[in-house]
Amino acid sequence: MKIILLAAGRGTRISRYIQDRPKCTVNLTEKQTLIEYTVSMFNRYGFDDISIILGYRQDVIREVLKDYNVKFYYNPFYDVTNSIASLWFAREELNDDLFIMNADVFLDTKTLDKILSEKKSPVLFSDESRKEEADYKFYYEAEKLIKYGKELSVEETTGEYIGAAIINKEFLPKFNRTLLNKINNQEHGQWWEEILYSMTRDESIYVSSVTGNFWAEVDYIEDYENIISFVKNNSI
């Protein structure tokens, strides 16, 4: 399985608190940043094919990871495109089982264990304990995605998307065709997940819950503080 970490975005909601650094380079401890933790965690699980897609302040991420065996791709249009364009710049990697995740997401190892135990594909991961405060919301039945978006009501929400997905190799021909079609149609302002969302009428796009396990996205300063608190009180 290949790991693809999306790290091109700026993160305007928290940037003033972290000296305008990329969100994935915030410190978890005095000696380790979030992106270092994530890469090291995947390495411990035996994953050594890791690609990181850069954009904003790519120099900072390259410096942080200079001693790690990772591949870099660069989206030079990161400030006027979205993650679908970033994924397109790493399209040569889309030829094997994939774990795609936003690089500003912190996963506890128990959460990763739950994710890696999932056999269905393509599958997105959600937290059903977060509905009222959810950012990007999913509604699904029998683990199949039906509705999605930031505007779903609490009643329509089954869980919050955590920013991670697994796509097996067999599904990639359809996935890659849709990616190319969207890029050709100038739909480069979309999230990469729109590739899967656009297939929900014709394909089973699954959702699996990680509820009860810790994860957090570095979006607001409160998110970062929650991660730091977790790290201080748990062995990572």
pLDDT in tens, 25-68: 999 999 999 999 999 999 999 999 999 999 999 999 999 999 99
Give the predicted TM-score (pTM) of the model.
0.97
pLDDT value, residue 82: 98
Beta bridge partners of 61: none
- Total domains in the fold of the chain: 1
Please state, as a whole number, how many other Cβ atoms lie within 10 Å of the Cβ of residue 10.
16
Residue 21 has pLDDT above 90, yes or no: yes
**232 is written with which tokens?**
């201080």
Sign of the Cα torsion 135, 11, 225, 66 reads positive
Largest CA distance in the chain: 48
Structural domain of residue 141, as residue ranges?
2-233
Q: How confident is the model at residue 236 (pLDDT cuts 50, 70, 90)?
A: confident
Q: How far is the C-alpha of 134 from the C-alpha of 168, rounded, in Å? A: 27
The answer to whether 31 and 63 are in contact (CB under 8 A) is no
CATH number at residue 127: 3.90.550.10
The pLDDT-based confidence of 14 (bands split at 50, 70, 90) is confident
3-state helix, strand, coil in the chain (%, to 5): 30, 25, 45
Nearest to 90 by CA among 217, 182, 179: 179
Kindly report, residue by residue over 65-120, the tens digit of the pLDDT. 999 999 999 999 999 999 999 999 999 999 999 999 999 999 999 999 999 999 99
Its sign, for the CA torsion 127, 146, 143, 153, is positive
Q: What does the mean pLDDT of the chain come to?
A: 97
Asked whether 127 and 162 are in contact (CB, 8 A), the reply is yes
